Amino acid sequence: MPDFSATDAAVVNFYGEDVTYTPNAGAPVVVKGFFQNPDDEPDTQDIDFIATSPQVILLASDAPDPHKGDTFVIRTVSYSVKDFEIDEENLRVFHLFES
């Protein structure tokens, strides 16, 4: 299987927005990520998949040891991690709730 880590990093760093990630046992760090909030979505009838709660996608290298309860500040709103997915490749998907 090809290694897409360099491509993933380039895409996230170019198109992602700044988010502040604070692990439970660490200091806050500003990283790039893709944020999706279903409350902000326009008409979605033609979209095959959409998040049902806020979520942010980061590079695995920016969140190497994620835990429930880690926090994010995105667009001045504070969120806590309720769950996360560890992608087989290079990404982490965090499912969030406003805290």
Write the DSSP assignment of 2-52 as a string of letters: ---HHHHHHHHHHH-EEEEEE-TTS--EEEEEEEE-GGG----TT-S---S
pLDDT band at 63 (very low <50, low <70, confident <90, very high): very high
CB neighbour list of residue 35: distance below 8 Å, 6 or more residues apart: 17, 19, 54, 55, 56, 74, 75
pLDDT digits (tens, 9 = 90+) for 30-54: 999 999 988 775 555 555 555 578 9
Average pLDDT, the chain: 87
High-pLDDT (> 70) share of the chain, %: 85
Domains, the chain: 5-98 (2.40.10)
